[in-house]
Structure 1
Amino acid sequence: MTHEREHQDVRRAWFNEILTTALNDLAHAEQVITCFASQEPDGFIAWGMAEGEATQAHQALRQAPSLQTSVPADYTATNVTADALFDLARKISQSLVRAAELAGDPDDKLACLQAALHAGRLSEALR
């Protein structure tokens, strides 16, 4: 019985780590995209879809009951490119699908899958 409990503890810790990392990465992507949008004359037109998907992914993930929320770090947009944001969005989407597979709570699973959907749309908007 102890081995099974240890396995569940490791699984829960991994799940929480994925969620926390994805939440922070989405907050970072949101801030960077907003910064890019504000620096260009038509920035909100060019970056609007990406910004909306990043925001929706972030909000969807915040609905996960198991998420141990903390205030995401304040990031700046220095040395960040659209390609880096694309790679980050793809990584987030993959991580959230993995988290959904690990989730025991149906509401956690739903939050992860909704956030993964928006993160996938974010990566498409950044192509």
Structure 2
Amino acid sequence: MADVVVEQHGVPVLVCDAEGARIATEQDALDHLIGSAFQNPDVVAVAVPTARFDDRFFDLSTGLAGAIMQKFVTYRLRLVIVGDLSPHLRSGTALRDLVREANRGPHVWFLPDLAALTARLALEAPHARG
């Protein structure tokens, strides 16, 4: 499957293929994620499978996750990391804390699957705000 733009509750989301280019550096994120999102100017969120990220992304001591997340904020794109984080969460509490805090905010979400993304966006839809 190639990267595809889908609309979820009025939000255009670039859903990235798990088999796409590996994200091992900040430049990789710019080239392969943000660059792809900007090819469709309506995209406001990028959903990236955990498999695309180098393991260093999940080791917060490397600074890679923070740098990539900041790029998304700077370019006003929401980053959604989709998939099983349990192998990475075993190594300590820092990542667990980051996931919890990020999921409380509007810019970066860590979700188990695309169905969870659809549900989360449904909560933000204008009709859901009442």
Give your verdict on TM over 0.5: no
Give the structure, 1 or 2, with the largest relative contact order (CA under 8 Å, sep 6 or more): 1
Structure with the greater alpha carbon radius of gyration? 1
Which structure features the higher share of strand residues? 2
Which structure features the higher share of helix residues? 1
Q: TM-score, normalised by structure 2?
A: 0.31
